[in-house]
Amino acid sequence: MVSQLERRVLWHPRGEDRFAVSSGSQIVVYEYAPDEPAIRDIASQQDLNSLKCFAWSPTPLASDLFAVGLTAGRVDLLRLSEPSSTRPGH
């Protein structure tokens, strides 16, 4: 029997042009520009082997903050921010 990877998509909680996708043991944050045909990945976290679920924090003070639920029942907080070298003006 072949197991299927379950993918989950979560849109930015305050309506920014970003969304996160979880698949297997990773979370990737993407950004799209409605006027351009491209979607780019801006941040990711791998090695989340026991990832069960995730939620994007709605606070404007930490737009890159995620809560990650693990199969062991633990919840971790992690930041998935864009590397400063790819941000405009850096």
Tens of pLDDT along the chain (90 residues) come to 444 567 899 999 999 999 999 987 899 999 998 888 889 999 999 988 888 999 999 999 998 999 999 888 999 999 998 776 554 544
Residue 49: predicted pLDDT: 84
CA distance 9 to 52: 13
Residue 90: predicted pLDDT: 45
Cβ atoms of 20 and 80 closer than 8 Å = yes
CA distance 57 to 77: 10
Where in the chain are the domains? 7-79
Residue 2: predicted pLDDT: 46
Q: Which two tokens stand for residue 65?
A: 């903050």
CA distance 64 to 79: 5
Residue 5: predicted pLDDT: 65
Cβ atoms of 11 and 29 closer than 8 Å = no
Q: Which two tokens stand for residue 89?
A: 């003006």
